Amino acid sequence: MTHSRRAAPRRSRPRMQQTDMARRQAALLRLTTGIAAAADEADVYRSMVNGLHDEALGYNFLGAFLLDHASGDRVLQASVGWPDVPRDWRVHRGQGLSERALQDGQLHYTPDVTRASGYLPSLASGSEVDVPLRVDGRTIGVLVVESSDPNAFGAEDFEILTAAANQASIAIGRARLLAEERRRVDEHKALLDTMADLSADLELPRVLQAVLSRAVTLLGVTGGEVAIYEEQGKQLVVVAGENIGKDSTGTRLALGEGAMGHVARTREPLIIPSYHEWLGRSGQYADVTVHSVMAAPLLIGRRLVGAIATVHSDPNRVFGAEDLRLLTMFAPQAAIAIENARLYQAARRQKQYFEELVLNSPVAIVTLDKSQGVLACNPSFERLFGYTQAEAVGRNLDDLISTEATRAEAEEYTRQAFDRPIHGIGRRRRQDGSFVDVEVLAVPVIVDGERLGLMALYHDISELLQARREAEAANSAKSQFLASMSHELRTPLNAIIGYSEMVQEEVEEMGQPGLASDVAKIRTAGRHLLALINDILDLSKIEAGKMELYLETFEIRTLVEEVVTTMRPLVEKSANRLIVDLPAQPGSMHADLTKVRQVLLNLLSNACKFTERGTITLSIAREQDETMGGEAIMLRVADTGLGMTSEQMNRLFEAFSQAEASTTSKYGGTGLGLAITRRFSQMMGGDVTVLSELGKGSTFTVRVPAVVTGERS
């Protein structure tokens, strides 16, 4: 052995008498009982050496050593007969005679230690027995028994010492199992306590700091860091740090960068025995004063929440498998606590966001319970109706803002709104008794399938209605003026056209072709002006509500042939080709013949205007359309002309509007044709739609009922 003190000489034992044998058996029983009753592993070592030191057994110099597997040293656990020996006395690896028992797991006897190879002088003379301590087939330590006399031990001693060592080994195994079980119970309790504490707080900054503090305490480490994962930037952000030699809060780590970046990328925990020798360390941590690092990802399933790292600053302390196991047990719980806090924070911010929307909304908003009592209202409600929230809460809403005249309407809105969204316009009463025109939107409030109440929005439209009435009055006056002027203009214009035709005939008979050409221009201009006036008159009548439907039954084929005949010169003028797609038996329809004809002429004229050397296709079809009460007639005009952008199509059917400002000067027209087409189609219970692509042409489709009723006028 390597101790420095000389052992006292052991007396020689005479032939054992029967009395000595009884004493010896009693001592062995006390030894066995003491080892069996040991409270923990340390008590096993003490019970073994103290029991063997019994006077009846005669072993005066004993020591129990435990193997430090990390260093290979033997560390003294208990001793007898070696005064002034340190409690944690170490025999370094490769030194002393007891090394042999550790190497092969066998008992070794040295009769004369002074003659033994590898002996470290500590006794002037004497002998030594080294007995291995083995648990689960693995040598964990050694029992060393010494004597000052050479050849002091025999077969009986070997049996006693081996039995004592074996019993102690069994007891050590049990103690370790019990200690492991207790440790695991303590760990689980600590984890449960940790999670209880973490779950009790939902404020994210405090939760993050608590996660780190708990990890440091639980693992018994110097310090550490916690980082959360930002999905948008694909990086970690350090949000809490403790005792790592720098303030790392706010540090951003890419996936794979440093210890936490590494575990975040791999989704696996990591132990770094010597951080400054680790090639994966981040340059941002070049100045930290840590020795070893252990890190783990914070995961919920496989979804990354963040990462945690713990550190030892003491070079003599390194992380082991048990530390890693404990951290991997802690990490998922920490991830859940962080995620809960983040969700709570997000929910709270969302709640605050919507509360601010409601508070600052210019629209009056009020919420009701299932009994139609007011739960809350915003400042706009107070301004609109004159009731403060304190005055409104708990009262029936319809009692507050309805009169006898409007009560039935308001109650019906409220009743329906508990089942589905309701929109309408009505009049409500203010606190001062005055009335306000409002647009009402009410929606049910449903949480987890349960209807808890409703929310109603009131928009003051008094000024809007007044402006609408004024606009309608102005528009009506405009329409009446245009209708009157158009009517007054048509009479002299017809006279001009008629006289121009007569003059043209007389000029031609007089053999003056030059004058005839000029007169023809007058007639053409007059007819164009008359068409413009007719369009204005039609639009004015429509807007004034004076346009009527003249319903009759007519053959579709006859109508199409008439329209094609009329349009063919215009089609050929631009070198276009006209295709007519007409069913063999198109049948008849009951509608306003004049207006259907005008619709087709307008669409074909529009196609001819914007198509050159292309194809124009007129298609007629009968379709079933329940929305129109049965059969519908589809009128479609497609061209391969200029086409339009979506922006151009948005204003296509507005009166006096064309696709572009330059269109009028380049192609002519008033911009009324398509507007009238839509109005005529709608008067007959149908509508017109358009599909177009710039540079590829346009397709206009009109659908009207096959049988138009007078109710549609």
Residue 176, Cβ density class (10 Å: 0-12 exposed, 13-18 middle, ≥19 buried)? middle
> Which pLDDT score is estimated for 166?
92
Candidate from 140-149, 496-505, 626-635, 697-706 with smallest mean pLDDT: 496-505
Question: For residues 118 and 99, is the Cβ–Cβ distance under 8 A?
Answer: yes
Candidate from 91-100, 203-212, 585-594 with smallest mean pLDDT: 203-212
Question: For residues 385 and 433, is the Cβ–Cβ distance under 8 A?
Answer: no
DSSP state of 285: G
Question: For residues 139 and 102, is the Cβ–Cβ distance under 8 A?
Answer: yes
Question: For residues 161 and 18, is the Cβ–Cβ distance under 8 A?
Answer: no
User: Which residues neighbour 673 within 8 Å (Cβ) at sequence distance 6 or greater?
Assistant: 535, 602, 605, 606
Q: Give the helix, strand, coil percentages of the chain, each rounded to 5.
A: 45, 25, 30
> Which pLDDT score is estimated for 482?
60
Question: For residues 641 and 615, is the Cβ–Cβ distance under 8 A?
Answer: no
Q: How confident is the model at residue 1 (pLDDT cuts 50, 70, 90)?
A: very low
Tokens of 248: 């790392």
Span 220-239, mean pLDDT? 88
Q: How confident is the model at residue 480 (pLDDT cuts 50, 70, 90)?
A: low
H/E run at residue 140: strand 138-147
Contacts by residues 34-42 (CB-CB < 8 Å, ≥ 24 positions apart): 35/164, 35/167, 35/168, 35/171, 36/167, 36/171, 38/171, 38/175, 40/175, 40/178, 40/179, 41/172, 41/175, 41/176, 41/179, 42/77, 42/78
> Which pLDDT score is estimated for 10?
43
Span 590-600, mean pLDDT? 88
Q: How far apart, in Å, are the Cα atoms of 710 and each of 203, 455, 603, 623, 705?
A: 69, 42, 25, 21, 12
Q: How confident is the model at residue 13 (pLDDT cuts 50, 70, 90)?
A: very low
Residue 283: which of 263, 306, 261 has the closest Cα? 261
Which amino acid, one-letter code, is at 152?
A
Question: For residues 286 and 245, is the Cβ–Cβ distance under 8 A?
Answer: no
Residue 215: which of 306, 300, 84, 103 has the closest Cα? 306
Q: How far is CA 21 from the centre of its chain?
A: 82
Our CA dihedral for 25, 26, 32, 37, rounded to 10 degrees, sits at 170
Tokens of 598: 């005008």
Q: How confident is the model at residue 188 (pLDDT cuts 50, 70, 90)?
A: low
Asked if residue 425 has pLDDT above 50, the reply is yes
DSSP state of 669: -
What 3-state class would DSSP assign to 456? Answer: strand
Residue listed under structure tokens 């100045």: 287
H/E run at residue 447: strand 435-447
Candidate from 113-122, 174-183, 350-359, 473-482 with smallest mean pLDDT: 473-482
Tokens of 255: 């996936």
Q: How confident is the model at residue 483 (pLDDT cuts 50, 70, 90)?
A: low
Span 552-558, mean pLDDT? 91
pLDDT more than 70, % of the chain: 82
Question: For residues 208 and 338, is the Cβ–Cβ distance under 8 A?
Answer: yes
Rounded Cα distance, 45 and 76, in Å: 10
> Which pLDDT score is estimated for 123?
43
Q: How confident is the model at residue 537 (pLDDT cuts 50, 70, 90)?
A: low
Q: What is the DSSP string of 149-170?
A: STT---HHHHHHHHHHHHHHHH
Q: Tell me the pLDDT of the chain averaged across its residues.
A: 80
Q: Over the Cα atoms of the chain, what is R_g? A: 52
Summarised one tens digit per residue, pLDDT across range 246-299 is: 888 888 999 999 889 999 999 999 998 988 888 888 888 877 878 889 999 988
Q: What angle do CA 558, 670, 504 make, to 5 degrees?
A: 75
Asked if residue 9 has pLDDT above 70, the reply is no
Asked if residue 207 has pLDDT above 60, the reply is yes
Summarised one tens digit per residue, pLDDT across range 128-164 is: 999 999 998 899 999 999 888 889 899 999 999 999 9
Q: What angle do CA 566, 570, 572 make, to 5 degrees?
A: 110
What 3-state class would DSSP assign to 660? Answer: coil
User: What's the N-to-C CA distance of the chain in angstroms?
Assistant: 120
Residue 642: which of 681, 678, 610 has the closest Cα? 610
Asked if residue 617 has pLDDT above 50, the reply is yes
What are the start-end ranges of the H helices in 510-546? 513-543
> Which pLDDT score is estimated for 6?
36
Summarised one tens digit per residue, pLDDT across range 74-128 is: 899 998 887 777 777 888 888 888 889 988 999 999 998 888 877 766 543 688 9
Rounded Cα distance, 272 and 285, in Å: 14
358 C-beta neighbours (distance < 10 Å), count: 20
Span 584-600, mean pLDDT? 89
H/E run at residue 133: strand 127-135
Asked if residue 656 has pLDDT above 60, the reply is no
> Which pLDDT score is estimated for 193?
61
Asked if residue 487 has pLDDT above 90, the reply is no
